[in-house]
Amino acid sequence: MTATAEPETTGPSPGDTRAAPPARARFARLGLLVTVFVCAACGLVYELSLVTLGSYLIGDTAAQASITLSVMVCAMGLGALAAKPLRRYAAAAFAAVELALATIGGLSVLALYAAYAWLDLYTVSLVAASSVIGVLVGAEIPLLMELLQRIRRQEAGSAVADLFAADYVGALLGGLAFPFLLLPVFGQIRGSLIVGVVNAFAGLILVFVWFRADLSRLLRWLLGAAALLVSAVLVGSYLYADRFEATAQQALFAYPIVWREQSEYQQIVLTESLSPFGQTDTRLFLNGDLQFSSVDEYRYHEALVHPALAGPRRDVLVIGGGDGLALREILRYPDVAAVTLVELDPQMIRLARTDPRLTTLNEHAFADPRVQVITTDAFAWLRTVRVDFDAVIVDLPDPDQTSIAKLYSTEFYSMAAGVLAPGGTMVVQAGSPFFAQRSFWCITSTVRSAGLHVLPYHVDVPSFGDWGFVLATHEAEPRLAVDPPAPLHSLDHSSLAAAAVFPPDRRDTGERASTLMHPVILDLQRNEWR
């Protein structure tokens, strides 16, 4: 049985654009499809904004994406059903939906950031925002379908194909505009606000230009007033976005913020205060995680660097360490001929080179001619490098994000071992055996699974608490020793002997290795981390 297309109808009816001449109908139809295109782009940007914000604030990208997308898609189905009774008022309903979507979607990032900073209700707020945005996005298609049929009657399958073609192609625009334009140029808060304004104007232009006759005078005034109010809210929020963000960020930190920047890869924050001992305490945070305190960072960096340089050290590789503090310790050795530092974020390197707080701490390490900086992804770089290093120092942020988990995998450590010269030593910062015991021993097991002999050790860093490292070599069992050109502040032979001893309740828990396809370390961090 074949379907028969409904004939095109042009008979007039009050307030119906089917009465328009064919040329006007063609323009109206084109305008509607362009609106679908723009609204689809805006809807996808709202989704990506919520996923990205969650990955920045919470760190678990997979879970944030799953919650946001699954809740939003389910809500879209409910929104499509809820829009069915509104089809006879399609023009007014569509304008109202777009104004609501512009307001809620545009303000969603700002509202969720506030919920995270002051209310500790982030997940509940995320589900609520995803649900409301999903319902509104889902209501668009049935209303647009009704408006499309009012312009020119056509077979249902053909109309659906036209709408969804514009919808999916528009989603491509949103998906590309978010990471390559909105996020780097405007940031998350302002990017969402701009999209909200575009969303509102796209819907209103369609209704007021092509379906004006469907609206009573009162409705036109009400929608116009609502549009002015929404525009005022979004523009006002845009103008005060920096002040809001600074206030919200400060609420998350115990000390005054003296520098903050959202780079392409992470949020970088410097705070400064006076320690109880009267010293200036400068602290670096990446995505909210403390990286060092200037009061005691020497304890961490001496324990990280010097045991790895007790043997051969002519050529040294540093993976991470963009603040330059590990670099400072390496450059104390006059027989170190070359240091290669691989850091993903060029903004972190720029800050470490130029900020007087950091250059004082790292002693202008990046100005040393022995240092070569490579700004790239360390995982990809290790796949191509063919150089042997006498020492490899892995100083990376904690593995609490999906993007970092690959740098704590068997595959990564195998590639790092591949550039480690015979007789060389590798060291990995491995988190806290006290606060994250299973994570620490998982990292130890993962380094061992790369074919290396390992020696875990730990030291006290007051800002962090008990902190652990893993020393690794190719041939023989590693041994803890130091051979610095001058005495160290926190390490000597007796303290090193104690560093390799773990109390009974903090010894190896027998964790299995973490791999690319099964990142065990992420699950452990999620369950244990402070």
Question: For the packed helices 187-210 and 22-57, what is the interaxial angle rounded to 10 degrees?
Answer: 160
Q: How far apart are the first and last CA of the chain?
A: 65
Question: For the packed helices 122-151 and 22-57, what is the interaxial angle rounded to 10 degrees?
Answer: 170
Question: β-strand 420-431 against 389-395: which pairing, if any?
Answer: parallel
Q: Is 395 a catalytic residue?
A: yes
Q: Do residues 105 and 203 touch, judged by C-beta distance below 8 A?
A: no
Counting beta carbons within 10 angstroms of the beta carbon of residue 283, is it exposed (0 to 12), middle (13 to 18) or buried (19 or more)? Answer: buried
Nearest to 368 by CA among 377, 359, 376: 359
* Rg of the chain taking only CA atoms, in angstroms: 29
Beta-bridge partners for 472: 426, 454
Nearest to 315 by CA among 341, 343, 342, 337: 337
Q: Does 378 carry a binding-site annotation? A: yes
CA angle 371-373-378, nearest 5°? 130
Nearest to 68 by CA among 83, 80, 84, 55: 55
Candidate list 395, 460, 492, 523, residue with the active-site label: 395
Q: Does 266 carry a binding-site annotation? A: yes
Q: Does 323 carry a binding-site annotation? A: yes
CA distances from 23 to 29, 163, 398, 527 (A): 10, 20, 62, 63
Residues in the chain: 530
* Count of CA atoms in the C-beta half-sphere (13 A) of 379: 12
368 vs 331: CA distance, rounded Å: 8
332 vs 330: CA distance, rounded Å: 5
Q: Do residues 319 and 378 touch, judged by C-beta distance below 8 A?
A: yes
Counting beta carbons within 10 angstroms of the beta carbon of residue 384, is it exposed (0 to 12), middle (13 to 18) or buried (19 or more)? Answer: exposed
Q: Does 301 carry a binding-site annotation? A: yes
CA distances from 56 to 252, 289, 402 (A): 13, 11, 11
The sheet with strand 371-375 has its strands ordered as: 371-375, 338-343, 315-320, 389-395, 420-431, 465-473, 453-461
Collect all residues with Cβ–Cβ distance below 8 Å to 356 and sequence separation of at least 6: none
Question: For the packed helices 90-114 and 241-252, what is the interaxial angle rounded to 10 degrees?
Answer: 40
Annotated binding site for S-methyl-5'-thioadenosine: 266, 343, 377-378
Catalytic annotation, residues: 395
Annotated binding site for spermidine: 301, 323
Binding site feature residues: 266, 301, 323, 343, 377-378
